[in-house]
């Protein structure tokens, strides 16, 4: 019987030492998950010995074992005690589900809603404890934000504010960046970025005093150029970078900052198909004639249909996102990034490690498949090729679209 090469044995020694340490600290349990992980590592070892040089096999096996054991570890949680948390955007979706979960755990929850009489607000009032306080707030209105900040400071004077969950956000329109009005970009930035910035800055004195947590719900659309989500994705990219900056700057104060990047989940906003149809009709009605002729109404219809099909595949169970937010608030060492939902690991691997052409084709096939604008279809009047543009780079006669 062949003996294992020394690199493989060294990797197993490292994995065994890590597992033993976790078992002694009660971070790891003996059970089927651990047995399954060890079986997979043994299969990986068998493959590595036959396909890789000894040192490469050592690196792959040791790294995989370390990551697997880290995933299996039971993360140490802080006690809830009298901790208070403010959550924005609790009318529906992740905000409402998180407010219910944190209230059940014993948190003092301050939940902001757009409408105190909305179905979501009424549901929270009916099913949660008296500790939960509902606060009306529109992130585009400075007076609302100031009122919520003052209430929070007064209401947490004795307990302190442990956490802020920046959940409120909006996506207004599905369409190419050229088709999206500038006002759409401004609206998304106003809620998703500036509203989050103002809330975070306003509560930082309380969070610094408690060495608390900031948890912000962003989106993979802020990391990758999803077709037709330019306004939404740009605002989410901005807020993710802002949180990374806060994470570095607040480290000396003991404030930990986490960003949640969820997959597509079936929230109330996702399920409301009528709103997307209404927004599509508004886009068609207000689109400049030149753009409508260049792209074509069927192009916009295709985008909307593909987007609605993608939403129909959304995950119905919101608990992975709620669990990620809860872990970011209570874990002794929370992660900087959480990726709840299926398929995100593969998506990010493709985005970061594969060539640009493959990345683009993957996003198109995963989200919205390509569709040729009307002006680029063969036989259409006004078809302009790249060669034509290169031969005649000068301005064409006619009125300037900015002169209207």
Residue positions annotated with a catalytic role = 232
Residue 123 and residue 96: Cα distance in Å, rounded?
9
The CA-based dihedral angle spanning residues 85, 91, 97, 99, taken in that order and rounded to the nearest 10 degrees? 20
Q: Is 134 in contact with 124 (CB distance < 8 Å)?
A: yes
Q: Side-chain half-sphere of 81: how many Cα atoms within 13 Å?
A: 10
Task: Using DSSP, state whether 166 is helix, strand or coil.
Answer: strand
Nearest to 107 by CA among 389, 265, 325: 325
- N- to C-terminal Cα separation, the chain: 84
Where helices occur in 250-296 by DSSP H, the ranges are 268-271, 273-286, 289-295
How many CB atoms within 10 Å of residue 8? 19
Q: Is 164 in contact with 214 (CB distance < 8 Å)?
A: yes
Contacts of 133 (CB under 8 A, 6+ apart): 108, 109, 110, 111, 151, 155
Where on the phi/psi map is residue 216: left (φ > 0), alpha (ψ -120 to 50), or beta?
beta
């Amino acid at each position: 019987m062949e003996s294992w090469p020394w690199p493989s044995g060294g990797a197993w020694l490292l994995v065994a030492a890590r597992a033993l340490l976790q078992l002694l600290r009660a971070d790891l349990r003996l059970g089927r998950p651990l047995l399954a992980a060890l079986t997979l590592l043994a299969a990986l070892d068998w493959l590595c010995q036959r396909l890789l040089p000894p040192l490469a096999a050592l690196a792959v096996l040791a790294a995989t074992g370390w990551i697997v054991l880290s995933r299996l570890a039971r993360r140490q949680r802080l006690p809830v005690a009298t901790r208070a948390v403010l959550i924005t955007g609790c009318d529906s979706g992740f905000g409402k589900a998180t407010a219910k979960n944190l209230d059940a755990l014993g948190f003092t929850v301050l939940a902001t809603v757009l409408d105190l009489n909305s179905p979501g607000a009424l549901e929270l009032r009916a099913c949660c404890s008296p500790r939960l306080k509902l606060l009306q707030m529109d992130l585009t209105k400075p007076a609302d934000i100031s009122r919520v900040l003052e209430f929070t400071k007064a209401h947490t004077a004795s307990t302190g504010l442990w956490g802020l969950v920046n959940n409120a956000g909006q996506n207004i329109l599905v369409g190419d960046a050229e088709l999206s009005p500038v006002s759409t970009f401004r609206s998304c930035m106003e809620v998703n970025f500036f509203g989050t910035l103002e809330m975070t800055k306003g509560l930082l004195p309380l969070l610094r005093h408690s060495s608390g947590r900031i948890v912000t719900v962003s989106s993979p659309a802020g990391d990758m150029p999803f077709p037709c989500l330019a306004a939404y994705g740009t605002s989410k990219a901005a807020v993710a970078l802002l949180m990374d900056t806060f994470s570095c700057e607040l480290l000396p104060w003991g404030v930990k900052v986490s960003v949640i990047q969820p997959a597509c989940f079936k929230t109330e906003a996702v399920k409301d198909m009528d709103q997307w149809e209404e927004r599509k009709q508004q886009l068609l009605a207000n689109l400049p004639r030149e753009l409508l002729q260049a792209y074509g109404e069927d192009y916009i219809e295709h985008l909307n249909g593909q987007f609605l099909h993608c939403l129909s595949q959304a995950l119905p169970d919101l608990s992975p996102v709620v669990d990620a937010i809860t872990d970011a608030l209570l874990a002794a060492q929370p992660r900087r990034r959480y990726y709840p939902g299926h398929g995100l690991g593969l998506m990010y691997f493709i985005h970061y490690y594969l060539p640009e052409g493959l990345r683009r084709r993957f996003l198109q096939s995963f989200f919205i498949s390509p569709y040729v604008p009307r002006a680029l279809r063969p036989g259409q009047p006004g078809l302009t090729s790249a060669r034509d543009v290169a031969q005649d780079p000068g301005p064409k006669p006619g009125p300037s679209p900015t002169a209207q």
